[in-house]
Amino acid sequence: MNIPYTSLPGYSDLYIDYVNHFDKVAGFYEFPYDNEGIFNSITSKKEIYNNGNVSRIEIAELLKTQNKFFNSGESTFLNIEFLKEPDTFAVVTGQQIGVLTGNLYTIIKALNAVELSKHLSMKYPEFKFVPVFWLEADDHDFQEINNINVLDKENKPVNLSYLQKGQEKERYLTPTGRIVIDEYINTFTQNIKDTLIQTEFTEQLMYMIDRSYKEGIDLVTAFSRFFNYILGDTGLIFCNPTDKEMKKLLVPVFEKELNTFPETCELVVNASAELEQKYEPQVKPRSINLFYTYNDNRHLIEIKEEKFSLKNTRQKFEKDELFNLLLTNPENFSPNVILRPVCQDYLLPTAVYIGGPSEVAYFGQFRDVYNFYGMKMPAIYPRTSITILESRVENFLEKFGISFEELFDETLLSKKLLGKINEVNVDEIFSNFSDELNALIYTYGLELEKIDKNHTQGLKTRYDKFIENIGYLKPKFVESQLKQNDSTGKKLKTVIDGVYPDEVLQERFYNIIYFLNKYGFDFIKELSNTIELKKYFHQVISVSISKEIKQPALFDNPV
Q: How high is the pLDDT of residue 483?
A: 57
User: Percent of the chain at pLDDT above 90?
Assistant: 77
The burial class, CB within 10 Å (0-12 / 13-18 / 19+), for 91 is: buried
Sheet containing strand 2-3, strands side by side: 2-3, 538-543, 385-390
Q: Going by C-beta distance under 8 Å and a sequence separation of 6 or more, which residues neighbour residue 25?
A: 14, 17, 18, 279, 364
pLDDT at residue 555 is higher than 60: no
- Average pLDDT (404-432) is 72
Confidence band for 418, pLDDT divided at 50, 70 and 90: low
Three-class secondary structure of residue 129 per DSSP: strand
Q: What is the residue type of 509?
A: F
Q: Over 60: is that where the pLDDT of 410 sits?
A: yes
Closest CA to 438 of 412, 470, 415: 470
Calculate the CA 441 to chain-centre distance. 68
Mean pLDDT of 448-460: 73
CA distance 36 to 545: 41
pLDDT of residue 411: 77
Are the C-beta atoms of residues 60 and 142 closer than 8 Å to each other?
Answer: no
CA distance 221 to 213: 9
> Is the pLDDT confidence value at 451 over 80?
no
Query: According to the model, what pLDDT value does residue 337 have?
Result: 96
Largest CA-CA distance found in the chain, in angstroms, rounded: 122
Is residue 238 within 8 A of residue 72, CB to CB? The reply is: yes
Instruction: For residues 130 and 236, give the distance between their C-alpha atoms in angstroms, rounded to a whole number.
Output: 7
Residue 302, φ and ψ in degrees, nearest 5: -130, 175
Mean pLDDT computed over 8-36: 96
Residues 158-193 pLDDT 10s: 999 999 988 888 889 999 999 999 999 999 999 999
238-280 per-position pLDDT tens digit? 999 999 999 999 999 999 999 999 999 999 999 999 999 999 9
For 35-86, how does the pLDDT look when each residue is reduced to its tens digit (9 = 90+)? 999 999 999 999 999 888 899 999 999 999 999 999 999 999 999 999 999 9
Minimum mean pLDDT range among 44-58, 66-80, 329-343, 352-366: 44-58
Question: For 299-313, what is the mean pLDDT?
Answer: 94
Report the range of poorest mean pLDDT among 168-172, 511-515, 555-559. 555-559
pTM value? 0.87
